[in-house]
Structure 1
Amino acid sequence: MTETTPDIPYEQARDELVSVVQKLEAGGTSLDESLALWERGEQLAAICQTWLDGAKARLAATQPADSDEM
């Protein structure tokens, strides 16, 4: 992994984030547990965003530069 590549794959982060959201929506957790879940969800969302930003940059790098010359 590089300095900018997250430690876990996108799919794993996404699946864990879905699980966190489901637990929060279901309720029944203590305030401390809810806060811990929220914090983990924020971390996972940032990991997913990092992967998506990287994919977007890779796609942009494969596209020819826009040119006004025609």
Structure 2
Amino acid sequence: MSDKPVNEMSFEEAMRALEQVVGQLERGDVPLEESITLYERGAELKKRCEAKLKEAEEKVAAITTDASGTPTGTRPLDEV
């Protein structure tokens, strides 16, 4: 498990870490206390992944297009 803080992880890093956590929990070969810690980390990682996805969706939504659908630029995220 990475020691990198969750809030500094990229989407890909957080997703890989979340997959590892889920794998460990699914195997059921960790003690109860460690399972609780893993579950808490998994919840943090899930939240990070959701935030990064929302951020990406907002960036995509900010792309403006002309009548033919060709991208013409972007508008500030606060206009989304």
> Unaligned stretches of 5+ in structure 2?
1-6, 66-80
Distance across 2 between alignment mates of 1:51 and 1:63? 21
- TM-score scaled by length of structure 1: 0.79
Of Structure 1 and Structure 2, which has the larger fraction of its residues in strand?
2
CA root-mean-square deviation: 1.0
2:25 match: 24
4+ residue runs over 6 A deviation = none
Identity of aligned residues (%): 36
The aligned runs of 1:1-70 (5 Å cut-off) are 6-64=7-65
Give the number of the structure with larger relative contact order, counting CA–CA contacts within 8 Å between residues 6 or more apart: 1
Structure 1: gaps (5+ residues): 1-5, 65-70
Aligned residues: 59
